[in-house]
Structure 1
Amino acid sequence: MANIEIKNGRVGKGSRCFAIVGPFQSGKTTLLESILLRSGALERVGRVADGSSYGDASAEARAHIMSTEPNVATVSYLGETMTFIDCPGSVEFLRDMRATLPVCDAAIVVCEADERKLPALEVVMKELEEAGIPRILFINKIDAATQRIHDTLSILQPASKTPLLLRQIPIWKDGIAVGYIDLALERAAIYREHAESEVVDIPASDVGREKDARFEMLEKLADYDDKLMEGLISEIEPPRDQVFDEITKDLRAGNLVPVLFGSAERANGVTRLLKTLRHDGPGLAQTLDRLQLEAEGPPLAHVVKTFHTTHGGKISLSRVLRGRFTEGDTVTGSSGGETRIAGLTVMKPGQTQRLAEAVAGDVAAFARLDNIATGESFTTEKTAPEPVISLQAVEPVYAMVIKTKDRKDDVRLTASLAKIAEEDPSYIIETRPDLGEIRLHGQGEMHLRVALEKLASRYQVEVHTSQPKVAYRETIKGQSSARGRHKKQSGGHGQYGDVMIEIAPMPRGEGFVFNDKITGGVVPKQYIPSVETGIKDGLRKGILGFPVVDIAVTLTDGSYHAVDSSDAAFQMAAKIGLQEALPNAQPVLLEPVLAVDIAVPSETIAKASALVSARRGQILGYDARPGWQGWDILQALIPEAEISDMIIELRSATAGVGTFSTKFSHMSELVGKAADVAVAANRGE
């Protein structure tokens, strides 16, 4: 976690909170760095590329040059307190953004004028639209732009259902954007690197462009205001205050998405962005309305992220939505757990500073809320509050088996995994006793790699990893019979059991049936359950080395000894008979097949189809993805053995945004080379 406090050590009442979101590598963390510099919270700017930035301070983020958890910074700007939460851009860490957005007042969407990143931008915009979050689009890297701003807007508009409203146009010089013209203020500015822009007169050569672009802006605003529309029809220039009021109203209502631009790397356009947030951005009152919460009532806060620190223990990053909290307060979480606030802090590099209290609007670190989890709301009342938001579980798409290198670390592994999953609930830990595996599920290769790095660096747990085993089964296609006899004499009472069994295949999915057709008491009734127990034990591992399913076993004959027969003897006899019968009943291997729904941008559907075919999949059909313009759902049946690393190839084929969901469909017969490989691998283990 990264967090910085304003200079007086207090997060002031009425603080506003803004999320910084956008596609991977769009420059979000660099923008945060420039905001901190411009607001005076940092004295010098760092760089993500060389590991000197304030944000992305964790070892994992530094190693991969990407955000792996939110960066949080609270600053004071022109007398206003603003908290910025920079969310990871990779879809593998999407849950952090999803958990943060609802309690933020608005979002800054950072993007580039790059058509290749349009699907990733659409994923972000979709999250914002569904959550109803007001948003500003910040087109980054304007200094590297090579096309007209209106062309850029045309490229970006399909990613947003809400109309984009151009607030600025660039000033070009020798093909490079050297400044901007603010269409609302009707004022021009020339960029200065890492400094506020210089206000200048609108260049004569740009006056015509400015008037045309301003009129387009006013036309879009007029779509939501009849009075403004009447004025435009009558060619009456609206007062500047009316224009700003319309922009503010439409931003907060989600009618329009204002578009600004700049260069985060050079801190160009940052002052205009901050002033826009200060004047036009919504505050806590609008957020409470969106969340359908009353402003008056018991104190209420919501945990957006949990961190487990080496020395400070558990830290719950929370936004206070109502009332005030102080150190020592006993609070109750949504799940009913009670705990005492051990401390309230904000942090900056190299130090932490306590807060006397956290009040409505603040984003603060609450220490050791041990019984309150990420995503819960909490209050000082005894009655558990309803959670402010309810997040759907994120279905995992990638898994690996983890095993400690040193057995003495097994207990620590369990505890460490629990902490990692508490920080990011999109990690899922699954124990498979039938396969002897502990599986860690997540959202992709990088997502799991970060978890492994945390295990090693934070918790000193070294692990081996491997691909999950496939739960193969075997069955029979024919009928067979065999006698199983267990006879042993070794002094005293011996052991004697004798059975005759018949085996036959059952319909797929019917499991195991045991039939008793003994007549004349050749096998006493008290031993018949032992025969069934022995059969079940024998089915645990068939001729091919896997559990046997969908089989009917009938006990038809046998014999016993009045002295030497026993439960154990008949169990062994039954197992022997089964082992004798199975090879003659045409044993065959079964593999699990999954029903898979693959969601991809429509232009990549051919690549997704080829991927399915290459993995022994069967394509069932295509549908438009509900609510997603320009996306499709490919429905297929794919063997589980082919799924393990499919997300890596799918993401590569879809600019990092493709995903899928699975559910078990059926067991299918597996023959040929694939079956030979599976059997050989199992025997090798």
Structure 2
Amino acid sequence: MTDQSNGARVAALVGPYSSGKTTLFEDILFSAGAIPRRGSVKDGTSLGDSGAEARARTMSTDLNIASFDYLGDAWTAIDCPGSVELIHDAQCAMMVADVVVVVCDPKPERAVTLSPVLHFLDDRNIPHMLYINKMDQEDASVRATFEALQAISSRPLLLREIPIRDADGQLTGMVDLVSERAFRWEPHKKSEMISMPKDMAALEEGARNTMLESLADFDDALMMELLEDVAPSTGDVYENLVRDLRKDLIVPVFFGSAENENGVTRLMKALRHDAPSPAETAARLGLPEAAKSAQVFNTGYAGKAGKQSHVRVWSGEIGDGDVLNGDRVANVGQPLGAKTTLVGKAGPGAVVTLGRMAEARTGDFLTEGGTTKADWPAPPTPMFALALSTDHHADEVRLSAALARLSEAHPSIRAAHDPETGELILEGQGAIQLQIALKELEADTGLSLTQDIPTVPFRGTITKSITQKARHKKQSGGHGEFADVELEVKPLPRGTGFAFVDRIVGGAVPKQYIPAVEKGVRAFLDKGPDGYPIVDVAVTLVDGSHHNVDSSDMAFQKAAAKAMGEALPKCAPIKLEPVQKVTLSAPSEFTPKVQRIATGRRGQLLGFDAKPGWPGWDEVQALIPAAEMGDIVTELRSVSLGVGTLTSEFDHLQKV
């Protein structure tokens, strides 16, 4: 295992789907010598995204983790899924990272797709850099993309380099604004230092001054030097850059083409020089001190290998045989994509897998003393659901166990039986996440699972009052069954529920049987004549009769249910549907489309406002029938570049 006496550092790669994170991940590993050849995402030969589902979808479906050495320093890179539906996995990786590299493409109109990631990083004060990828594309503009990104970042962006272009406008290299050195780029070759192009001198000077002025906002001494026209030393500039990044005061911006391996070495050197140490990160997170500690940031199940906990070691040396949080540590392994090498022990900063830590959960802070609480992001609220079923009832036990493992590995997925419909409901962030989960379930259990839209919990009620008599009489030798009731059935205001009143006088129905009448009424209303409950009804027992021998609780229950069954059709019954209060969030430019989504689903708009803490985003509030909510998040994301989200809660029942 790598010498980690100085502490291994961790960089997480995040960004929207198709931004090129996994290609950059591959470049980093190849450049560091961690892999013998550079694989291709397109050809299905990359170290990352090696799982069958990731290959089939040509997208990251889980964290890709690789530990390696770079110029004598120990590192772990974590390539995170880009889909907004899998953002919680990315958030968990970002929590344990010393620095985050946010990867994006050079289209200014797509800058908004970074909003969820940048908001999380800014909110958590996590040091991060931006890497504008795919700069080899025609019309790619560093300046336009930079300005679009600044509009959604609460931290000032700091351009660390500027592009060099040929006469045709093609990107051929870059100028480093700190060292003031120029480099030529060629596809799949190391960059070559060249003389500063004459036509770049003025542009470089202006860009460098802008960078220095941004740094001076956080350093009075540097500000005085600039005011007095004193050129700061290169060492002082680097010192400012490192300090400000580690405090999450600035966001350095780099660019390149991961597909051509351009700009990768410059990025790696910036990571090496600028990223905080594990001790600084632990202090930023406010982690408790302990002789030995580690934190679980990802949980998985690997066939016969069983449960695997990905942890970052924060202090001490974690080794096989140690006891953390009551679990004995075993099979300490160092990951490199799908391959894990058993190493036996790991020191501060290292990212390793621990086998079969039965009690450990994602987010747990592990120490020898037992469970210690540490801050951790809560899973996002589910936005999409499926009803699952198996071919055979006996398979449900196996499925339930697999669902428990699934929910543990993916905390943003929930599974539970709906007590009203009896359906097994799987909830998550969207259709993509749940389809990936279903593949995982089928591989885990070998079961063929049927999926459907969850049943909408309709209700019924009445709009007219009626008085109804009913008699239950049965004689079959010996004691018979007899009960006679007269019920007054009335509608109640919406949302009132159910009320039962006893107005019996003179003992027409003995007191011991009155609870049985109420029970019979409730049993009928709970199921209703059409299979859904009847609500907002008042039932009064006004009269009846009994038999000294043949009357019983069961007889009065049956008589009451019969009376309700005969009364209901005469009470002008109506069907009610649940209506949800929904908040739809999206960038402001998409607000009109979001409003049309709501009204197109029989929704009633309540208004919209700016989303608190999210510059350039709106929240649209609406009342929407639950029957229309099934795939609304899919449509929402289709009109908002994939970043729209929603929250929903029951509001009221209304007539269908």
Give, in whole Å, the separation in 2 of the partners of 1:148 and 1:86. 25
Give, in whole Å, the separation in 2 of the partners of 1:664 and 1:148. 46
1:130 corresponds to which letter in structure 2? D
Match of 1:615 among 594, 601, 608: 601
Q: What's 2:455 paired with? A: 469
1:347 aligns with 2:335: yes
Provide Cα deviations, 1:443-478, integer angstroms capped at 9, x if missing partner: 001010000010112331221000011111111111
Q: Rate the CA distance shift 1:346–1:189 in 2: closer, same or farther, 3 A.
A: same
Provide Cα deviations, 1:418-467, integer angstroms capped at 9, x if missing partner: 11111110001121122020100000010100000101123312210000
1:493 corresponds to which letter in structure 2? H
Give, in whole Å, the separation in 1 of the partners of 2:110 and 2:338. 36
Give, in whole Å, the separation in 2 of the partners of 1:226 and 1:97. 37
Match of 1:384 among 371, 374, 389: 371
Q: Which runs of 5+ in 2 are unaligned?
A: none
Match of 2:355 among 358, 367, 382: 367
How many residue pairs get aligned? The number is 655
- How much does 1:350 deviate? 7.1
Provide Cα deviations, 1:640-678, integer angstroms capped at 9, x if missing partner: 1111110010000111111111111111122xxxxxxxx
2:479 corresponds to which letter in structure 1? H
Give, in whole Å, the separation in 2 of the partners of 1:375 and 1:213. 42
Q: What's 1:297 paired with? A: 290
SS at match of 2:527: coil
Please report the TM-score for the alignment, with normalisation by the length of structure 1. Answer: 0.93
Give, in whole Å, the separation in 2 of the partners of 1:321 and 1:350. 24
1:278 aligns with 2:272: yes
- Worse overlay, 580-589 or 282-291: 282-291
Q: Which runs of 5+ in 1 are unaligned?
A: 1-7, 333-337, 671-685
Give, in whole Å, the separation in 2 of the partners of 1:264 and 1:111. 11
Match of 1:239 among 219, 233, 241: 233
Match of 1:93 among 61, 64, 86: 86
- How much does 1:540 deviate? 2.3
Give, in whole Å, the separation in 2 of the partners of 1:566 and 1:155. 77
SS at match of 1:574: helix
Q: Rate the CA distance shift 1:498–1:80 in 2: closer, same or farther, 3 A.
A: same
- Worse overlay, 277-286 or 200-209: 200-209
- How much does 1:148 deviate? 4.3
Instruction: Map 1:77-156 to 2 at 5 A.
Output: 77-156=70-149
1:257 aligns with 2:244: no
Give, in whole Å, the separation in 1 of the partners of 2:69 and 2:276. 17
Give, in whole Å, the separation in 1 of the partners of 2:294 and 2:96. 10
Instruction: Map 1:296-335 to 2 at 5 A.
Output: 297-332=290-325
Q: Rate the CA distance shift 1:20–1:197 in 2: closer, same or farther, 3 A.
A: same
1:589 corresponds to which letter in structure 2? K
1:22 aligns with 2:9: no
Q: What's 2:479 paired with? A: 493
SS at match of 2:155: coil
Q: What's 1:673 paired with? A: none
- How much does 1:112 deviate? 1.4
Q: Rate the CA distance shift 1:439–1:12 in 2: closer, same or farther, 3 A.
A: farther
2:506 corresponds to which letter in structure 1? G
State whether residues 612 and 618 of structure 1, in contact with CA within 8 Å, keep that contact through their aligned partners in structure 2. yes
SS at match of 1:162: coil
Give, in whole Å, the separation in 2 of the partners of 1:352 and 1:652. 38
SS at match of 1:492: coil
SS at match of 2:44: coil
Match of 2:403 among 395, 417, 421: 417
Alignment RMSD, CA only?
A: 1.5
Give, in whole Å, the separation in 1 of the partners of 2:344 and 2:643. 43
Instruction: Map 1:476-555 to 2 at 5 A.
Output: 476-555=462-541
State whether residues 64 and 337 of structure 2, in contact with CA within 8 Å, keep that contact through their aligned partners in structure 1. no
State whether residues 498 and 537 of structure 2, in contact with CA within 8 Å, keep that contact through their aligned partners in structure 1. yes
Give, in whole Å, the separation in 2 of the partners of 1:91 and 1:147. 24
SS at match of 2:13: strand
State whether residues 13 and 359 of structure 1, in contact with CA within 8 Å, keep that contact through their aligned partners in structure 2. no
- How much does 1:234 deviate? 2.5
State whether residues 23 and 117 of structure 1, in contact with CA within 8 Å, keep that contact through their aligned partners in structure 2. no
Match of 2:563 among 577, 580, 586: 577
- How much does 1:89 deviate? 1.1
Provide Cα deviations, 1:331-352, integer angstroms capped at 9, x if missing partner: 11xxxxx211122001336753
Give, in whole Å, the separation in 1 of the partners of 2:642 and 2:285. 31
SS at match of 1:590: strand
Give, in whole Å, the separation in 2 of the partners of 1:471 and 1:502. 27
Give, in whole Å, the separation in 2 of the partners of 1:143 and 1:154. 19
Provide Cα deviations, 1:537-581, integer angstroms capped at 9, x if missing partner: 111232443211111111111122222222221111111111111
- How much does 1:145 deviate? 4.8
SS at match of 1:130: helix
- Worse overlay, 656-665 or 211-220: 211-220
Give, in whole Å, the separation in 2 of the partners of 1:546 and 1:107. 51
Give, in whole Å, the separation in 2 of the partners of 1:349 and 1:79. 21
SS at match of 2:214: helix
1:619 corresponds to which letter in structure 2? L
Match of 2:220 among 223, 226, 229: 226
SS at match of 2:151: helix
| Percent of pairs with identical residues | 44
SS at match of 1:236: coil
SS at match of 2:304: coil
- How much does 1:384 deviate? 2.5
Please report the TM-score for the alignment, with normalisation by the length of structure 2. Answer: 0.97
Give, in whole Å, the separation in 2 of the partners of 1:177 and 1:315. 44
Instruction: Map 1:58-73 to 2 at 5 A.
Output: 58-73=51-66
